[in-house]
Structure 1
Amino acid sequence: MGVWMTVAQAAAVANLLLLGALGWVWVGNYRSHGASHTLAYLVFATFLFVENIVWLYLYLLDDAFIRWYEITTPTIQLSMAALCGLETIALLAVARITWR
């Protein structure tokens, strides 16, 4: 397994943790205020949560995907890891704003 696969796996786990924490806060806010934009945040977080579960499944358990990832070009490996990493950075920004 290459370094970019490990980076992508770590980013997917971090994304799941961040989305879980953000979802917890947003559920509480929605129960308190009932604001429609908070419900939209929850829907958004749910879709991203499912996306990261799928990525983690592919990165850890799907043998065909893992074999493909290992033989593909380093540019593709870096790009896929970068997408997961960029999502982590975006979620960190949202988390910082949410927890202020």
Structure 2
Amino acid sequence: MTVAQVAAASNLVLIGAMSAIWLRNYRRYGASHTLAYLVFAAFLLVENVIWLYLYLLNDAFVGWYAVATPTIQVGMALLCGLETLALVAIARITLV
């Protein structure tokens, strides 16, 4: 669960950094694809806030996760980790 928590928190930081750049660029240029990036970032932001809430504050979810099979635990952590890798790739392009 710690891996998933760290991945979700990392995702929020990456999304926040990229969103700031995309918002600045959208205000400057008004390009529709930049607006699409902002919408995409908003959905990912909501998703990761929900994950962090579930992983950190929702006792029912934490209890379920603790007794879930290792396959489910690894799978959920892997999904968050893969999202982090995808965001790192996009951040590398955006922030450079």
> 1:6 corresponds to which residue?
2
Partner Cα separation in structure 1 for residue 75 and residue 4 of structure 2: 10
> 2:24 corresponds to which residue?
28
> 1:45 corresponds to which residue?
41
How far apart are residue 99 of structure 1 and its match? Answer: 1.7
Q: Residue 63 of structure 1 is aligned with which of 42, 50, 59?
A: 59
Q: TM-score, normalised by structure 2?
A: 0.99
Q: Give structure 1 regions of 4+ aligned residues with deviation exceeding 3 angstroms.
A: none
User: Aligned letter for 1:92?
Assistant: V
Q: What is the count of residue pairs matched by the alignment?
A: 96
Q: RMSD in angstroms over aligned alpha carbons? A: 0.4
Partner Cα separation in structure 2 for residue 50 and residue 28 of structure 1: 21
User: Aligned letter for 1:27?
Assistant: L
Aligned residues with identical type, % of pairs: 68
Structure 2: unaligned runs, 5 residues or longer: none
> 1:75 corresponds to which residue?
71
